[in-house]
């Protein structure tokens, strides 16, 4: 047998390389990545790229139309709207990343306990999840605000508490599907302990779907923060938030439409960006849902 007739071994394709190849072929995924990079970069470098102090008042220039000096015009107090939108991206992503990270971590632990633990523990956690989710988010936020007052931490607390049951149920379902597989039965027969089974077999298999759902929940949390701030239950003035900008735009919509556009456009772009990117991650990490492009 000559060397030329030998079959060349196939190269293993890493997850990162697969993701890059998929995004290069999928225009929506690339658009999502670009939007996420722009929004995240704006939030990280906001203090260095804002052209004006977002809280500086200049009543003489109130409700001005967009110009070269004020790209998105000014609000009812003469503050530069573009600078407030950029600073507002920090609030939105801070709430989203902190709340989703904490809720995802707690939901991961509780979900694996419910799926792998005893029946009474599973039933108790399911009742707890259902009880929390039975409260509408806005009503729950009103109750929390009444107790602790409106603030950024209040928004984060509301999102964490209402998001834990979602992630817990997802992890529980994934865990119950895994523990009935043959390789788990073989591990138990070989004397493997519960801790080893959870850390070595269950955790790596449930973390992927959890991260996909979490990435697609970022725009949902951003919208919740904007909605609570719009209602006066979120960040307090003069802190810039997309929700407070929308509230100002609604109050002065007869005078200028630019405030509503400036507050609504970032929410739309954030939703599109993280949704498209989340779908790309889903297609790569979940073979059952992978799309052909």
Intra-chain end-to-end CA distance of the chain, in Å: 39
Query: Residue 188: pLDDT above 80?
Result: no
CA 229, 235, 240, 242: dihedral to nearest 10 degrees? -20
Distance CA 82, CA 240 (A): 11
182: Cα within 13 Å, side-chain hemisphere:
0
Contacts of 71 (CB under 8 A, 6+ apart): 51, 82
Q: Give the range among 101-110, 115-124, 195-204, 260-269 with minimum mean pLDDT.
A: 195-204
Mean pLDDT of the 10-25 span: 62
pLDDT tens digit sequence for 22-60: 667 778 888 888 999 999 998 899 888 888 888 888 888
Q: Two tokens at 206?
A: 């449930």
Domain boundaries, the chain: 57-265
Cis before residue 238, ω within 30 degrees of 0?
Answer: yes
Q: Report residue 16's pLDDT band, with 50, 70 and 90 as the boundaries.
A: low
Residue 55 exposed, middle or buried by CB count within 10 Å (0-12, 13-18, 19+) = middle
Phi-psi region of 93 (alpha: psi -120 to 50; beta: other; left: phi over 0): alpha
Q: Report the CATH superfamily, name and number, of domain 57-265.
A: MetI-like (1.10.3720.10)
């Amino acid at each position: 047998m000559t060397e030329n007739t030998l079959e060349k071994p196939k190269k293993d394709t890493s997850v990162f390389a697969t993701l890059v190849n998929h995004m290069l072929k999928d225009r929506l995924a690339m658009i999502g990545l670009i939007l996420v990079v722009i929004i995240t970069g704006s939030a990280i470098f906001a203090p260095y790229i804002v052209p004006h102090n977002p809280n500086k008042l200049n009543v003489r220039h109130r409700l001005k139309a967009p110009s070269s000096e004020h790209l998105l015009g000014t609000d009812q107090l003469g503050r530069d709207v573009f600078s407030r939108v950029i600073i507002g991206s920090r609030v939105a992503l801070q709430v989203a990343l902190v709340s989703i990270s904490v809720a995802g971590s707690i939901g991961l632990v509780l979900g694996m306990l419910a799926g792998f633990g005893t029946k009474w523990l599973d039933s108790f956690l399911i009742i707890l999840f259902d009880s929390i989710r039975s409260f509408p988010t806005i009503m729950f936020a009103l109750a929390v605000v009444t107790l602790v007052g409106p603030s950024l931490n209040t928004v984060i607390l509301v999102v964490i508490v209402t998001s834990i049951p979602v992630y817990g149920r997802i992890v529980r379902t994934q865990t119950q599907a895994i523990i009935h597989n043959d390789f788990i039965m073989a591990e138990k027969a070989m004397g493997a302990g519960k801790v080893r089974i959870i850390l070595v077999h269950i955790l790596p298999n449930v973390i992927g779907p959890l991260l996909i759902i979490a990435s697609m929940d970022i725009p949902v949390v951003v919208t919740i923060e904007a909605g609570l701030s719009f209602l006066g239950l979120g960040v307090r003035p003069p802190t810039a938030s997309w929700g407070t900008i929308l509230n100002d735009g609604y109050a002065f919509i007869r005078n200028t439409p630019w405030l509503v556009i400036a507050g609504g456009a970032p929410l739309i772009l954030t939703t599109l960006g993280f949704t498209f990117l989340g779908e790309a991650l889903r297609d790569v990490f979940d073979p059952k849902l992978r799309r052909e492009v």
